[in-house]
Structures are given as structure tokens and as C-alpha cells.
Amino acid sequence: DARVTQTPRDKVTEMGQEVTMRCQPILGHNTVFWYRQTMMQGLELLAYFRNRAPLDDSGMPKDRFSAEMPDATLATLKIQPSEPRDSAVYFCASGNTMGTEAFFGQGTRLTVV
């Protein structure tokens, strides 16, 4: 049963700390998305990759956020330093080729205190 795996499921951290979220996309998928979900803003696209290359990260605050795909089985989203306004659920999704469905992970619920 292929699925997108995200770790950790929940993270509570203090303001100023570095946070790393990880995502294992479905094997063979060539597109990876990072989304942030909050009550106020809904689902925001932060960044996405095609064949491990970053295509668009315009939705991401560049000064503190970074996204990478060190290899085809791992995508990471880092926040350094974290701030309380970063508290949200972060979703990773993967897909294959243009115009097809995206498969979502269960999300990382981040709380910055």
C-alpha cells in the first residue's frame, strides 16, 4: 500500500529553535509538494520539486525556510529560526506527471511556543 510518509507527526518546539520535517514520497513519483495549512490562510503551497529540482518556492519565506531533496526518497523542510507564527500543519504530497492527482502524507503538526 504505497503512501507518503511524514515525520514527525507532531512537533512542539521553542521559538528560535531549528525544525526539520521529513517526507518520503511514493516510490516512482517525480513531483513533491510542501503545503502549510492554517485556519486563517488555508492550504498554502510553499514549494515544489520535479525530479528533485526545485521549481517554485515563491510561497516560502526565504529568510527562515529551506526545502531540499537530497535524494529521490527524501524531501526535507527546515525552519531556522522558528517563530510562533510558523505554527501550522505542514503537508507533503507527491505525484507523477502533469495533471494527475497528488497523494498526501498525514502531515506534521508544528507548534512553536
Partner 1 sequence: SQQGEEDPQALSIQEGENATMNCSYKTSINNLQWYRQNSGRGLVHLILIRSNEREKHSGRLRVTLDTSKKSSSLLITASRAADTASYFCATDKVGGGSNYKLTFGKGTLLTVNP
Interface residues toward partner 1, by CB under 8 A: 4, 33, 35, 42-43, 45, 48, 50, 55-56, 89, 91, 93, 95, 98-107, 109
Cβ 97 vs Cβ 30: under 8 Å: yes
Q: Which is nearer to partner 1, 12 or 43 (CB)?
A: 43
How far is Cα 21 from Cα 7, in angstroms, rounded to an integer?
6
State in angstroms the smallest separation of the CB of 99 from partner 1.
5
Q: What angle do CA 106, 85, 109 make, to 5 degrees?
A: 15
Q: Which is nearer to partner 1, 75 or 95 (CB)?
A: 95
State in angstroms the smallest separation of the CB of 5 from partner 1.
11
How far is Cα 31 from Cα 101, in angstroms, rounded to an integer?
11
